[in-house]
Amino acid sequence: MPTLPRSSESFIRLVQERLHRPSPATFTFNANGDLSLNSAVPFLLGTDSSGEPVLILNKRSQRVRQGGDLCCPGGGIAPLIDRPLARWINLPRMPLSRWPHGSWWRRHRKTDFPKLALLLAAALREGFEEMRLNPLGVRFLGPMPAQHLVMFKRAIYPMVGWVNHQKRFFPNWEVEKIVTIPVAAFFDVANYARYRISFKTGTPGAPDMPYREMPCFIHRHNGDNELLWGATYRITERFLKTIFGYVPPPMTSLPVIHRRLGRHYLEGGSPQ
């Protein structure tokens, strides 16, 4: 089991260093072209009341697609808003200008640095809109490679950030609640399972669509079980491997959790 650094500052330095250790992948999108298939999410870390590092996630409300899922805040790039914000966050004492690796990116990744700024601006804006995340209180730690969604044909770019002091968030209508998961819990194999999902077709008498299986993480808190799966699970898995060299147990060895998903899950809105 990996050992977590004892102090927040040591944890932050470790994350910053190891996110930058491999040569960061290039951003394949055109910053001046069609950005509709690209999204940015803040992968938020912080501490709980005991000072232990936690991952901060949203639980999606039933009024949006994939209601009930745990996810990072985030969404699509809004060029008219995010381009000015990208310049603002690069001003002195702003999140991007405080990033230790910013000078390296400006010098060695001249084409990608404006894209990075645009993605970080979109991620921070979405964080503010969904949960009133204070962008000035976020310490940028670095980007992670994009996750590509097959079902919704989008590329998600995670921007890792540390929430310095903010403990209270105010979710909007898209978010049911804020969920914090201790980073140490991800190193317990008992918290992993195999998620078996089948889809109802919505046609009377028609059989369910063939099921799919994928790994998931079970967050147990106050008698409730929250499941982390899909793209957010894969982002978290990539983070754990990059920073700590940790790989979750193989899916074939895990207990099975079964769930049937209907049309409302994919479309959102008020259930019929």
What's the alpha-carbon Rg for the chain, to the nearest Å?
19
Average confidence (pLDDT) over 38-66: 93
SS3 36: coil
Cβ-proximal residues to 63 (8 Å cutoff; 6+ apart), any chain: 173, 174, 268, 269, 270
255-262 average pLDDT score:
86
* pLDDT at residue 28 tops 90: no
pLDDT digits (tens, 9 = 90+) for 232-241: 999 999 999 9
Q: Where are the beta strands (DSSP E) in the chain?
A: 38-47, 53-60, 70-71, 75-76, 138-143, 147-149, 154-163, 175-182, 192-199, 209-221, 224-228, 256-261
Percentage of residues in the chain with pLDDT exceeding 70? 91
CB–CB of 160/143 below 8 Å? yes
Q: Determine how β-strand 224-228 pairs with β-strand 256-261.
A: unpaired
Q: What is the per-residue pLDDT for 152?
A: 62
Q: 42 pLDDT exceeds 60?
A: yes
Query: With 80 as the cut, is the pLDDT of residue 265 above it?
Result: no
Give the per-residue pLDDT at 151. 62
Residues 247, 237, 104, 81, Cα dihedral to 10°:
180
Q: What single letter denotes the amino acid at residue 138?
A: V
Model confidence pLDDT, tens digit, residues 99-137: 999 999 999 999 999 999 999 999 999 999 999 999 999
Percent of the chain with pLDDT strictly greater than 90? 74
Give me the mean pLDDT over the 213-228 stretch: 93
Q: What confidence score (pLDDT) does residue 268 get? A: 66
pLDDT tens digits along 162-207 = 999 999 999 999 999 999 999 999 999 999 999 998 877 665 665 6
How many CB atoms are closer than 10 A to CB 32? 9
- Beta carbons of 32 and 151 less than 8 angstroms apart: no
- Where would I find the H helices in 21-101? 79-88
> 3-class DSSP state for residue 195?
strand
Residue-level pLDDT at 260: 82
Torsions phi, psi for 232 (to 5 deg):
-65, -35
141 pLDDT tier (thresholds 50, 70, 90): very high
